[in-house]
Homo-oligomer: A and B are copies of this chain.
Amino acid sequence: MPKLGAEPIRRAALVKATIETVGEAGSLEVTVAQIARRAGMSSALAHHYFGSKEQIFLAAMRSILTLYGAEVRGALSTATTAESRLRAIVSGSFAPGSFRRETISAWLNFYVLAQTLPEAYRLLRVYQRRLRSNLRHELRPLVGARAEAVARGLGALIDGVYIRAALADGAPDRAYALKIVTEYLDRELEVRE
């Protein structure tokens, strides 16, 4: 009984189910059937809309990165000074929408996917470059020439805190994650000499 206009709903449901399934399984070795079942449809329909498992994964990854970007942009919207913008980027990175168990686990898996799938690699690089560029831009007036190195350090630290959260048992501790990254930033911002 086809209600028309199902496509976008189905696609969204599949993306959501993919993140959940991969997140729960902690692995990309999940079947299209599992994902489809979770999204309330047959695996044939999933293939009908996405063509391949690969495309399903890519769509899920895009969704995660888009959400992350929106989260950061949201945090950024109210900030004006360089320092407050910097802190907004950091805290946006750990916003509740992104910093959730399944999402983090899925993130880690997509990181691995980027080693194999060129398109996934490209997506991740875009995100990394944008993040670093944002950080560098705000850091420049605060730490001058060290901006590049600090931006890279911050980016790596954020990733590190993320994947450690994937492994920690229990719900990810947003406050603590934020504290670690914030302290790093605080130290770097204490201008000397």
Q: Report which A residues bind B (CB closer than 8 A).
A: 25-29, 105, 108-109, 111-112, 114-116, 121, 124-125, 128, 146, 149-150, 152-153, 155-161, 163-164, 166-167, 179-180, 183-184, 187-188, 190, 192
Contact = CB atoms under 8 A, between A and B. Distances in A.
Determine how many copies of this chain the complex contains. 2
A183 B26 contact: no
A184 B183 CA distance: 11
Given A155-B164, A167-B124, A149 B179 contact: yes
Given A160-B157, A161-B156, A180 B149 contact: yes
A166 to B, nearest CB: 7
A33 to B, nearest CB: 18
Contacts of A146: 183
